[in-house]
Chain A
Amino acid sequence: MIKKLLATAALTAIMAVSAFAADDKPAIVFDIGGKFDKSFNESMFNGSEKFKAESGVAYGEFEIANEAQREQAIRNFADQGYSPIIAAGFAQAAAVEKVAKEYPDLKFAIVDMVVDLPNVQSIVFKEQEGSYLVGMLAGMASKSGTVGFVGGMDIPLIRRFGCGYAQGVKAVKADAKVIQNMTGDTGAAWNDPVKGGEITKGQMSQGADVVFAAAGGTGLGVLQAAADGGALSIGVDANQNHLHPGKVLTSMLKRVDVAVYNVMKSGKDGAFKPGIQALGLAEDGVGYAVDDNNKALITAEMAAAAEKAKTDIISGAIKVHDYMEDNKCPVE
Chain B
Amino acid sequence: MDFSLLPEILASTIRLSVPLVLACLAGLWSERSGIVDIGLEGKMLAAAFAAAAAAAHFQSAWIGMVFAILVSLGLALVHGYASINQRGNQVVSGVAINMMAAGLAVVLGNTWFKEGGRTPALPGSARFLPIDLPGSAVLADVPLLGAIATIISGHSIITYVTILLVPLTAWALAKTRFGLRLRAVGENPHAVDTAGISVALLRYKAVIIAGILCGVAGAFLSTSLSASFVRDMTAGRGFMALAALIFAGWRAWPALFACLLFGFLQASGNYLQGVHLGGVEVPVQFINMLPYLLTVILLAGFIGKSIPPKASGIPYTKDR
Contacts and interface: CB of A to CB of B under 8 A. Distances in A.
A224 interface: yes
Contact of B12 (A154, A198, A217): A198
Chain B interface extent, by class: 35 or more
Nearest to B9: A202
Contacts of B228: 193, 220, 224
B107 to A, nearest CB: 10
A197 B225 contact: yes
Contact of B118 (A38, A41, A224): A38
B227 interface: yes
Given A42-B116, A188-B232, A198 B284 contact: no
B115 A36 contact: yes
B245 interface: no
Given A194-B235, A198-B12, A36 B118 contact: yes
B274 A37 contact: no
Contact of A194 (B103, B106, B233, B273): B233
Nearest to A188: B235
Given A194-B235, A197-B225, A205 B8 contact: yes
Contact of A184 (B225, B230, B288): B288
B304 interface: no
Interface in A186-205: 188, 191-195, 197-199, 201-202, 205
Nearest to B19: A194
Contact of A202 (B110, B235, B271): B271
A283 interface: no
B5 interface: yes
Given A34-B106, A36-B116, A217-B230, A198 B270 contact: yes
A191 B5 contact: no
B258 to A, nearest CB: 19
Contact of B15 (A36, A38, A191, A198): A198
B267 interface: yes
A165 to B, nearest CB: 15
Nearest to B48: A194
Interface string B99-113: 000010010001000
B226 A224 contact: yes
A28 to B, nearest CB: 15
Chain A interface extent, by class: 35 or more
B116 A195 contact: no
A144 interface: no
B233 A192 contact: yes
A191 B232 contact: yes
A193 B233 contact: yes
Interface in B1-60: 5, 8-9, 12, 15-16
Nearest to A197: B226
B236 A188 contact: yes
B236 A198 contact: no
A194 B5 contact: no
Contacts of A192: 230, 233, 235
B116 A191 contact: no
Interface string B233-265: 101100000000000000000000000000000
A182 interface: yes
B221 interface: yes
B181 interface: no
A35 interface: yes
A35 B118 CA distance: 11
A34 B231 contact: yes
A33 B236 CA distance: 17
A195 B8 CA distance: 15
The 4 closest A-B pairs by CB, nearest first: A36-B116, A205-B8, A34-B116, A202-B271
29 contacts: A34-B106, A35-B116, A36-B116, A38-B116, A41-B116, A180-B273, A181-B273, A182-B284, A184-B288, A185-B285, A188-B235, A191-B231, A191-B232, A193-B230, A193-B233, A194-B16, A194-B225, A194-B233, A194-B235, A198-B16, A198-B266, A202-B5, A202-B9, A205-B5, A206-B5, A220-B118, A220-B226, A224-B121, A224-B226
Interface of A: 33-38, 41-42, 65, 154, 180-182, 184-185, 188, 191-195, 197-199, 201-202, 205-206, 217, 220-221, 224, 228, 243-244
Given A36-B114, A217-B230, 5 more contacts: A65-B103, A181-B274, A182-B284, A198-B270, A228-B124
